[in-house]
């Protein structure tokens, strides 16, 4: 007799769709439990000593940007005169005298002096006339009087307004000529220098120097830098 075949039993398969929602709920509960446990764990004490704390400016690579940035002097303009010229950089000669710009129609900014808007003394010189007695860049500096404005434009294109406070002459051999180059580190000033007096043929120069001094008009110049410093400080902090 041929062997009989046993009937095949149907296999039961697990329906994972029914387990999805319980698994999600279980995971959420575990995460909440971890957060609660972390919240109750002891934390290290907060350092209260201000000397041991680092401020945001100590940690930030942008901290130096909160300080004003100054650029070299590029242009000088004096309203009411024909003085409007670019500036070359000049230095101090070996004999200790201020170097004059090579071009008759250009001014010279003493690069070791202050920059426009910066505290200290911004020094600019220029020729009074050329070798033929024709007017040079500072020919009309003699027209400037106290209360007039001197505008210096820096390398970033920003204008700085100085108000003339004093106009005077000094003999070329005066013992007081050194004070022309003195600098007040709390005030932004400007000093303009050119020739004056009478021509001294034997010395190929003039007998005096015309000095024009001025003080920075902070109200006209400080707003732009103040806003920039405020913006950078706000960004950093």
Convert the pLDDT of each residue in 97-146 to its tens digit: 899 999 999 999 999 999 999 999 999 999 999 999 999 999 999 999 99
Domains annotated for the chain, with CATH where assigned, are: 72-225 (2.40.260.10)
Q: Does the reported pTM lie above 0.85?
A: no
Percent of the chain with pLDDT over 70: 69
- The per-residue pLDDT of the chain, averaged, comes to 81
Calpha distance 189→71 (Å, rounded): 16
Percent of the chain with pLDDT over 90: 54
* 225 pLDDT more than 90: no
- Report the 10 Å Cβ neighbour count for 173: 8
Average pLDDT over residues 155-181: 93
Calpha distance 121→98 (Å, rounded): 14
Calpha distance 128→196 (Å, rounded): 8
Q: Provide the sign of the torsion angle of the four alpha carbons 104, 180, 111, 78, taken in this order.
A: negative
The confidence band for 215, taking pLDDT boundaries of 50, 70 and 90, is very high
- Residue 94 — φ and ψ, nearest 5°? -60, -30
Q: Are 214 and 202 in contact (CB under 8 A)?
A: no
Q: How many CA atoms lie within 13 A of 91 on its CB side?
A: 3
């Amino acid at each position: 007799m041929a062997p009989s075949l046993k009937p095949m039993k149907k296999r039961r398969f697990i329906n994972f769709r029914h387990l999805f929602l319980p698994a999600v709920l279980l995971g959420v509960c575990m995460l909440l439990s971890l957060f609660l446990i972390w919240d109750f764990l002891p934390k290290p004490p907060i350092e209260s000593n201000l000397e041991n704390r680092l401020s945001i400016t100590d940690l930030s690579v942008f901290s130096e940007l909160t300080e004003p940035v100054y650029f070299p002097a590029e242009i000088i303009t004096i309203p009411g005169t024909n003085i409007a010229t670019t500036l070359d950089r000049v230095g101090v000669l070996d004999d200790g005298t201020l170097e004059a710009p090579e071009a008759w129609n250009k001014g010279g900014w003493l690069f070791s002096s202050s920059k426009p808007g910066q505290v200290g003394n911004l020094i600019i010189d220029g020729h009074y006339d050329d070798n033929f007695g024709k007017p040079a860049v500072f020919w009309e500096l003699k027209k400037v009087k106290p209360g007039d404005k001197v505008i210096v434009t820096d390398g970033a294109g920003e204008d700085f307004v100085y108000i003339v406070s004093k106009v005077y002459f000094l003999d070329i051999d005066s013992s007081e000529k050194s004070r022309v180059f003195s600098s007040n580190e709390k005030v932004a000033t400007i000093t303009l220098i050119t020739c004056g007096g009478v021509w001294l043929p034997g010395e190929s120069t003039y007998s005096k120097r015309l000095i024009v001094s001025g003080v920075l008009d902070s109200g006209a110049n400080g707003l732009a830098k103040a806003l920039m410093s405020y913006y950078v400080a706000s960004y950093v902090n």
